[in-house]
Amino acid sequence: MKRSTVEHSSMGLVVVNFGSSDLIRTNLSDVLAAFPAVVVDNFTSTDEQVRVADLAAEAGADVIRSPTNSGFGEAVNRGVGQLIERGVERVLLVNPDVHVSEQQVLHLSSVSASDPDAIMSPIILNGIGQTWFRGGVLDRHRIVATHADPTGPDVELDWLTGACLLVPAAAWRQLGGFSSDYFLYWEDV
């Protein structure tokens, strides 16, 4: 059952599925049930569509079914558009393999509320507790995007990962979302 507090209703979640219903069920079922949420299913199979519909119904999340694999950026755009139409103030994009708790989402929402124009990503840990992502750096001469050194000094960051990205609705509208020219990879850079 969805929470009805202002804090919960002002934050929405978008998950793009491509054959990942088991990961969504394992990692995100609880958080999808706590906030307005949309699962965008990029078609892999009819059986997968049924699994996604079942898990979304259990969590009270909406499902957008794509008849084909429209790509990550386009799928995110569709999910975010639906949540913004419903009046959410902030959207958290989260990959199926990311585990995030309700409390962590509320903390991100609170930090975002204190800087309402900022797009942000948390530090993301891997399965054994090591830093996987804490920001990205772009080598503009070689056109190479890399993760910032997890043990290195703080550096100016050029990009944040779409694996777990909080975007205020106003910033999303201003930027126009992800470019659908990118099917997969680089849309977040």
pLDDT at 155: 77
pLDDT at 116: 87
Cα–Cα distance between 11 and 2 in angstroms, integer? 12
CA distances from 3 to 6, 7, 34, 59, 102 (A): 9, 9, 5, 11, 11
pLDDT at 4: 54
CA distances from 41 to 54, 61, 64, 166 (A): 12, 12, 6, 20
pLDDT at 22: 97
Identify the three-state secondary structure at position 171: helix
pLDDT at 5: 64
pTM, two decimal places: 0.91
pLDDT at 18: 96
pLDDT along the chain (189 residues), means of 10: 66 97 96 97 96 97 95 95 96 96 94 90 92 91 89 84 94 92 72
Structure tokens at 20: 């990942």
Helix (H) or strand (E) holding 33: helix 21-34
